[in-house]
């Protein structure tokens, strides 16, 4: 019985140490997801004519004219990741990028299976932010503590 109790204590200690890594993990998730979308936005503005052409011929974005869809996509990809990096309004920002990600998967019919898996990963990581929050290393946490 003492060996089992000792194993339980060791496990509880290990879990306690993992808790110290949680803020680092939260920050890493936010930085990774942000970098993916921000880099995509940079690619869009590097060659605007090509981007508009993609929205005219490749992406099946419903309702919106291609120019407006391209503009909205680039704006979203360049602005919302900044909120995630700062950890400011992280949950709403992650929801916006989650919906944006879903629209991207739906509107691009030629997406490879590997590409779909990447989008699933990004979506899952954004849901971690939505349900878990930005973590301790964020402006959200700082604001919450400041106004307590």
pLDDT per position as a tens digit, 123-146: 999 999 999 999 999 999 999 999
Q: Is 9 inside a domain boundary?
A: no
C-alpha to C-alpha distances, 137 to 24, 114, 147, nearest whole angstrom:
8, 32, 16
Q: Is 5 inside a domain boundary?
A: no
pLDDT confidence band for 110 (50 / 70 / 90): confident
* pTM for the model: 0.86
C-alpha to C-alpha distances, 77 to 2, 81, 94, 96, 136, nearest whole angstrom:
56, 7, 12, 10, 24
Range of the domain at 89: 22-146
Counting residues of the chain whose pLDDT is more than 90, the rounded percentage is 70
Cβ neighbours around 147 below 10 Å, total: 6
Q: Is 66 inside a domain boundary?
A: yes
Q: Is 13 inside a domain boundary?
A: no
Q: Is 16 inside a domain boundary?
A: no
Q: How many domains does the chain have?
A: 1
Q: Is 17 inside a domain boundary?
A: no
């Amino acid at each position: 019985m003492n060996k089992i109790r000792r194993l339980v204590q060791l496990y509880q200690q290990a879990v306690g140490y993992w808790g110290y890594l949680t803020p680092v993990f939260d920050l890493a998730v936010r930085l990774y997801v942000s970098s993916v979308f921000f880099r995509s936005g940079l690619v869009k503005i590097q060659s605007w004519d090509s981007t508009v052409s993609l929205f005219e011929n490749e992406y099946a974005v419903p309702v919106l004219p291609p120019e407006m869809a391209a503009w909205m996509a680039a704006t979203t990809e360049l602005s919302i990741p900044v909120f995630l990096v700062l950890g400011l309004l992280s949950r709403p920002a992650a929801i916006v990028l989650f919906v944006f990600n879903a629209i991207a998967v739906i509107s691009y019919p030629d997406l490879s299976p590997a590409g779909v898996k990447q989008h699933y990963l990004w979506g899952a990581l954004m849901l971690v932010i939505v349900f878990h929050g930005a973590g301790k290393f964020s402006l959200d946490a700082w604001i919450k503590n400041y106004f307590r």
